[in-house]
Amino acid sequence: MKTVKTSCRSCHGGCGAIVHLDGDRVVKIQPDPDSPLSKGRMCIKGLKGIELLYHPDRLKYPMKRLGGRGEGKWGRITWDEAYDLIAENLQKTISQYGAEAIVIAQGTGRHMFQHVPRFANTLGTPNWIEPGMAMCFFPRVQAGMMGFGAFSVVDYYSGVNPECILVWGHNHDVTSAGGECQFFIQDAIKRGAKLIVIDPRKTPLASKAELWLRVRPGTDDALALGMLNVIINEKLFDREFVEKWTYGFEALCARVQEYPVERVSEITWIPAEQIRAAARMFAGAGTATLEWGCAIEHTPNTMQTVRAISLLMALTGNYDKPGGWYEGMNVLPSPSHNSHLLSREQSLKRLGEKEFRVMAGAHNPFPSAHIPTAYQAMLTGEPYPVRAMMLFGNNGIMSNGGAQATHEAMMSLDFISSMELFMTPTTALADVVLPAASWLELDEIYAPPDLASHTILVQKQVVRTHECKSDEEVFCELSRKMGLEYGAETPEEIYDAQLAAAARLHPQLERLTFQKMKELSYLQIPIEFGKYEKRSGFRTPTGKVELYSTLMEKLGYDPLPYYEEPPESPYSQPLLAKDFPLILTTGGRVANFFCTEHHQIPSLRKGHPNPIVDLHPDTAREHGIADGDWVYIESPRGRITQKARLSQDMDPRVVNCEYGWWYPERETQDFGCWESNANVLTTMGPPYDPSMGTYQLRGLLCRISKNDDRDT
């Protein structure tokens, strides 16, 4: 028996794990009490890692398609044959249409995140995509960069407990930006932090809150402006901080006058007194801080929503201060993205570059292509043809808005490769399938941005199963095969280069190598607060916190936040609302699954066997639905079924359905992906957020009925 200390990376987090081995077989996973992050805790997904590692349905070796696309007929091939097939097809696409005709898709914030743009640039395509760039986390990062010159997160480390935590559109004690942060907020509540929760559902966290604001889905922009209105008009802001360190206060004052509390109450369906109480409680706390989730990033007004909410932190002076938000320490620079290998001509071809200038444009150090524009190009050949796709841990049929359009676009392609842990509804459409290593099978160094990059942690290759490889290894090996410059370095050499760059910023990290990091498991640099005072200013064009964004103005967008009615609501589409009278929101994650993953892990599925739709009992009764009944949920785009959970706390006009549901146990190649998939109801069509390209996933219209056909 032997043990290895590593970090679980089964979600965005990095909880410390002790892995017990009997010979070369993992027999037990335990939380590591020495982890400075999770301190002896892990969630159920990490603890059940062995079930994933040795699951009989894992993809075990490379395969190629034998029958028609999506027919489910596969033949085993060697890695060399797989690389040859991929190389041959990519080269064919490049010579016929140009490298931009290849889209490289990755899934949400995984270990290979930085390596995908690196490979794309090396290959010569500007078109890499990741769902988070417009829909999750990156709008918050952009708002931070724009307003404060840095991305910032809650300080749980200095010993100063936040007095008040505003939890906005976030199921934090279940999800959290990085998994281990769910434990931080639980600890902060135990130490006396008071909560304000903004959520259409009364989540377990909302049940613990002093104030729960049941917002109408998709109207968080108005609510934030209403709270800013109260804080400004009642002079509850931090006068000294605002005078000394902010830019554009007068302009913001004028803008928020358009949002008196009574108007905001009408828009958001929240009683005016609650809006005032929330603003007063937040501004009145000695230290107040903000935790926010992806619910505010699933609307076509994402950027202004996120900016408006972030300004609450600026006006109340809770910035870079113990118990408030603190500014990123940037302990570990990104690996080189090989940006020099992508010509200017190619980068100007990035899909969405001209339209969505904050996400895809040249100002962004990390620009990616616009997902709907990429799928549109597959379907129509406009603005130019996209003919091949490489997927690395992306389950687009389940995760993209508009499952039907995603399917149609993928079916039209000349070539698709997909690297995955399991056969999914998306991977089933590929020509070549590559078996991916899971979190216990690969090496990585990582500095979680949700911990403001003051910690470096490692993930270690504890074992290897079958013929699985890490995505990073595949980028290297494929590059070598194709004679590209990427393959000059191995993953370990890339990590060493990152650590060398880290040492140039933080001298205490000198001579740190990946091998050394493996011995250390974790490394933290001390957090500094008030950095803007020490360097006299913020890293923004004006050197101040930009309430009025000069960058947004320069890029041709409104420099001040505003509210916009959701494009499909009872107010914006009253005719449609006659047929689809209920408001639908999607998401609302659960502890047992990570996005579209884990539905085949027996002990996780057992705890949450079916998809759940939340309804008010009156709404259910009106449609003859009882608690636990299967319900049809229908939007103008399609119909799915989920199981009813009745709650008095829901607004009777709102329903919430879970996302990510497919049935890996089904024999059919689509794995029942049309049955309960929330994205059958959504669309990735316009309107889009003008600067980010985000589309609507929260706050659409739907209707419901009882499903008598489904066997319960």
Selected binder of ligand MGD within 256, 295, 312, 552 (CB under 6 A): 295
Comparing CB distances to ligand MGD, the nearer of 377 and 436 is 436
Q: Which stretch binds ligand SF4 (CB under 6 A): 4-12, 72-80, 213-221, 620-628?
A: 4-12
Does 217 bind ligand MGD (CB under 6 A)? Our answer is yes
Does 449 bind ligand SF4 (CB under 6 A)? Our answer is no
Collect contacts of 248-252 with beta carbons under 8 A, ≥24 apart. Answer: 248/546, 248/547, 248/548, 248/549, 248/559, 248/560, 249/547, 251/547, 251/548, 251/559, 251/560, 252/228, 252/311, 252/547, 252/548, 252/560
DSSP three-state, residue 549? coil
Does 411 bind ligand MGD (CB under 6 A)? Our answer is no
Selected binder of ligand MGD within 89, 122, 152, 203 (CB under 6 A): 203
Partner interacting with residue 89 (select from ligand MGD, Mo ion, ligand SF4, none; CB below 5-8 Å by kind): none
Pairing of strands 2-7, 325-327: unpaired
Kindly state the tokens that stand for 569.
Answer: 């609501």
Write out the H or E segment, with its range, that includes residue 4: strand 2-7
Comparing CB distances to ligand MGD, the nearer of 23 and 602 is 602
Partner interacting with residue 393 (select from ligand SF4, Mo ion, ligand MGD, none; CB below 5-8 Å by kind): ligand MGD
DSSP state of 469: B
Rounded Cα distance between 312 and 236, Å, is 11
Q: Which stretch binds ligand SF4 (CB under 6 A): 7-15, 234-242, 430-438, 463-471?
A: 7-15
The residue of the chain with the least Cβ separation from Mo ion equals: 136
Comparing CB distances to ligand MGD, the nearer of 140 and 454 is 140
Q: Whole-number minimum distance, CB 154 to ligand MGD, in Å?
A: 14
Does 399 bind ligand MGD (CB under 6 A)? Our answer is yes
700 phi and psi, to 5 degrees? -115, -175
Tell me the three-class secondary structure of 306-375, residue by residue: HHHHHHHHHHCCCECCCCCEEECCCCCCCCCCCHHHCCHHHHCCCCCCCCCCCCCCCCCCCCCCCHHHHH
| End-to-end alpha carbon distance in the chain | 44
Contact between residue 552 and residue 689 where contact means Cβ atoms under 8 Å apart: no
Q: Which stretch binds ligand MGD (CB under 6 A): 24-32, 58-66, 330-338, 386-394?
A: 386-394
Q: Whole-number minimum distance, CB 272 to ligand SF4, in Å?
A: 38
Comparing CB distances to ligand MGD, the nearer of 217 and 248 is 217
Answer whether the bond into residue 383 is a cis peptide, omega within 30°: yes
Write out the H or E segment, with its range, that includes residue 496: helix 491-505
Contact between residue 31 and residue 452 where contact means Cβ atoms under 8 Å apart: no
Q: Which stretch binds ligand MGD (CB under 6 A): 454-462, 552-560, 639-647, 676-684?
A: 676-684
Does 8 bind ligand SF4 (CB under 6 A)? Our answer is yes
User: What residues numbered 123-142 form the site for Mo ion, per CB under 5 A?
Assistant: 136
Does 293 bind ligand SF4 (CB under 6 A)? Our answer is no
Partner interacting with residue 589 (select from Mo ion, ligand MGD, ligand SF4, none; CB below 5-8 Å by kind): ligand MGD
Partner interacting with residue 328 (select from ligand SF4, Mo ion, ligand MGD, none; CB below 5-8 Å by kind): none
Does 699 bind ligand MGD (CB under 6 A)? Our answer is yes
Axis-axis angle for helices 491-505, 471-482 (nearest 10):
110
Q: What number of CA atoms fall less than 13 Å from residue 557's CA on the CB side?
A: 26
Q: Could you give the residue ranges of the DSSP H alpha helices within 169-258?
A: 181-190, 204-207, 220-233, 239-245, 249-256
Selected binder of ligand MGD within 291, 320, 327, 420 (CB under 6 A): 420
Q: Which stretch binds ligand MGD (CB under 6 A): 171-179, 374-382, 455-463, 500-508?
A: 171-179
DSSP state of 441: G
Selected binder of ligand MGD within 47, 198, 358, 452 (CB under 6 A): 198
Q: Whole-number minimum distance, CB 7 to ligand SF4, in Å?
A: 7
Does 465 bind ligand MGD (CB under 6 A)? Our answer is no
Q: Which stretch binds ligand MGD (CB under 6 A): 66-74, 107-115, 227-235, 617-625?
A: 107-115
Rounded Cα distance between 346 and 127, Å, is 10
Pairing of strands 152-154, 522-524: unpaired
Comparing CB distances to ligand MGD, the nearer of 559 and 566 is 566
A 10 A CB-CB count for 265 gives 19
Burial pattern 220-230, b for ≥16 Cβ within 10 A else e, equals bbbbbbbbbbb
Rounded Cα distance between 220 and 293, Å, is 12
Does 37 bind ligand SF4 (CB under 6 A)? Our answer is no
Is 558 buried (19+), middle (13-18) or exposed (0-12) by CB count in 10 A? middle
DSSP state of 709: S
Name the residue type at position 519: E
Q: Whole-number minimum distance, CB 710 to ligand MGD, in Å?
A: 21
Q: Is 452 left (phi over 0), alpha (psi -120 to 50) or beta?
A: left
Kindly state the tokens that stand for 60.
Answer: 């075990």
User: What residues numbered 148-207 form the site for ligand SF4, per CB under 6 A?
Assistant: 179-180
Q: Whole-number minimum distance, CB 254 to ligand MGD, in Å?
A: 26
Partner interacting with residue 46 (select from ligand SF4, ligand MGD, Mo ion, none; CB below 5-8 Å by kind): ligand SF4
Binding-residue total with ligand MGD (CB under 6 A): 59
Q: Whole-number minimum distance, CB 458 to ligand SF4, in Å?
A: 13
Comparing CB distances to Mo ion, the nearer of 171 and 641 is 171
Give bridge partners of residue 644 from the DSSP assignment: 613
Is 174 buried (19+), middle (13-18) or exposed (0-12) by CB count in 10 A? middle
Comparing CB distances to ligand MGD, the nearer of 246 and 479 is 479
DSSP three-state, residue 456? strand
User: What residues numbered 43-102 form the site for ligand SF4, per CB under 6 A?
Assistant: 43, 45-46
Comparing CB distances to ligand MGD, the nearer of 175 and 453 is 175
Selected binder of Mo ion within 108, 142, 368, 635 (CB under 5 A): 108
Does 220 bind ligand MGD (CB under 6 A)? Our answer is yes
Selected binder of ligand MGD within 175, 301, 305, 453 (CB under 6 A): 175
Q: Whole-number minimum distance, CB 43 to ligand SF4, in Å?
A: 3
Comparing CB distances to ligand SF4, the nearer of 14 and 144 is 14
The number of residues in the chain equals 712
Partner interacting with residue 436 (select from Mo ion, ligand MGD, ligand SF4, none; CB below 5-8 Å by kind): ligand MGD
Beta strands in 464-590 (DSSP E): 522-524, 545-546, 582-586
Does 248 bind ligand SF4 (CB under 6 A)? Our answer is no
User: What residues numbered 348-377 form the site for ligand MGD, per CB under 6 A?
Assistant: none
Write out the H or E segment, with its range, that includes residue 705: strand 698-706
Rounded Cα distance between 290 and 276, Å, is 17
The footprint of Mo ion (CB under 5 A) covers: 108, 136
Contact set with ligand MGD (CB under 6 A): 11-12, 107-108, 110, 131-132, 135-136, 168-171, 174-175, 198-201, 203, 215, 217-218, 220, 293-295, 392-396, 399, 419-422, 424, 436, 471, 585-589, 591, 593-597, 656, 659, 678-679, 682, 697-699
- State the residues that interact with ligand SF4 by CB under 6 A: 8, 10-11, 13-15, 42-43, 45-46, 179-180
